[in-house]
Chain A
């Protein structure tokens, strides 16, 4: 089912690209429905795995990637339906859909083995489930802010920039509190109940903090006139780079570094 979802999301991206190339700046009428369908498929896949292990299936890298992609598709669908104007342009939708394709492609690569394993004792906690789920929902909004910030760098017209700037701020305005609650608050509560220490500075935690601080810097940079615009936009881009590194870089690169070190 996850493969079918990948095909659907990729087809949605192709469709969006075709519309973009016609340069009418019109939204295509179907791709967001394709994203919704993919999200349903992904969530069904996770539901089936959950029934098999009798616990929320969100504990392996594979499952996390599927959940992240599903959350992103849902967020894009909602934004497409609700936010009719104000910067949520076909380009932003396309860029974010490409990120979803990337996540699903990664989930079907050997880096994320799809084997089903029941969770080890430390992972059997609903704090962990809240922690992971809300972190990824927050990060789905960060994807939107990232693509909008890239678009801000690309376009030159002032009005479009202003719209994109509002979209970046709105996406981070939702993503930041959700990510804070998921990654830091619930993460710390889970760590405390599982290990008896709410913070231990392991690389994953440190990178989650770095990500959070970059977005904190983004929010405060908007309060300083001279930083609003260029600097804020780069911070939104850097924030997503940190998000991606926290999720993937720490798992795939730092672990390697330690085992060779």
Chain B
């Protein structure tokens, strides 16, 4: 009985999904009998464009030309050709490093190849006209296919597999989300120490209240947690929330991600005469006899901070030393180690996110349905 019940529920779900696609198609064929008539004879898979063609009364050769264009745009061989083109070029793009300097390609490829790469923008393939053109045609192809199938089915009253239609619809929504992201995404990265504050767009103001660094027993990082207070223009309330890696803070209009972590600071040194020298940056070095001392950065030392130095002789690391105020390193004495944990927060406004999630849902639902329907009707 349980399995019968499950089968019943599945059938109902499939029917409901079918309605979802069937009803708009049916409406369409009621409102526009002419287009539906074209689609119902099933000879040419053309619906929407034919409506336009007949509305503006195109006749003769122009009509025939349009017919051949629309039937081409609905064809599966075209889809296969476009997919094959994208496959080959996308695969090639992974062996041509993307986004390098134009001169780089000249130095790493034969002149002709480098010239082609630059001419067709293969250095930024996924933003190039070639890729966007192929993808755009595929989306057009997909749109024609989807609309044709839905309307044709409604006109014939034939319950066909609705799963693939949902998948195709989901992909169209995905294309919309891609466009929305491409046009409307704004992104900002903040490097903040405790107490810093900044405006982050959309009327929000973010203040970093505290920072926490969680480590595993071996000292490697486990998580970074930035606790922030957020206010919005004209609103009195303050939202206080922790932001962790993989747990972004989602607010209407923006999302804030924990994207990085480092230490910023100043190492104050005095030379033998007691004068303060320009504070070194990590990576700076000085020589003492045969040794080279490299300032490696700041280190947490219990609750205090120390500065790490590495000493090299003949390019070999011979000593690591961490120094605190009062210690000396080479000809210098450490006056102060002023360091702070610094968090990297990424603030993103992406109008494509909601349609993107909708697209994923549609594709997932559509594939599950396709699978169920195939199992019931393996033909």
Contacts and interface: CB of A to CB of B under 8 A. Distances in A.
A121 B94 contact: no
B91 A207 contact: yes
A220 B138 CA distance: 13
Nearest to B218: A118
Interface in A196-218: 196-198, 201, 203, 206-207, 209-210, 213-214, 216-217
A198 B353 CA distance: 9
Contacts of A210: 87, 90-91
Contact of B97 (A177, A196, A207, A261): A261
Contacts of A201: 98, 126
A121 B214 CA distance: 10
A224 B77 contact: yes
A203 B258 CA distance: 24
A120 B368 contact: no
B230 to A, nearest CB: 17
Contact of A120 (B220, B247, B346, B367): B220
A44 B31 CA distance: 62
A217 B255 contact: no
Interface in A142-156: none
B93 interface: yes
Contacts of A188: 356, 360
B86 A121 contact: no
Interface residues of A, number: 45
Contacts of A217: 80, 83-84, 87
Nearest to B91: A210
Contacts of B248: 193, 196
A227 B221 CA distance: 53
Contacts of B246: 121-122, 124-125, 127, 193-194
5 contacts: A121-B258, A181-B367, A196-B257, A198-B356, A210-B87
Interface of A: 117-118, 120-122, 124-125, 127, 173-174, 176-177, 180-181, 185, 188-189, 192-198, 201, 203, 206-207, 209-210, 213-214, 216-217, 220-221, 223-224, 227, 242, 250, 254, 257-258, 261
Given A173-B371, A176-B367, 15 more contacts: A118-B216, A121-B222, A121-B223, A124-B245, A124-B246, A173-B374, A174-B371, A180-B364, A180-B367, A188-B356, A203-B94, A206-B90, A206-B91, A220-B80, A242-B91
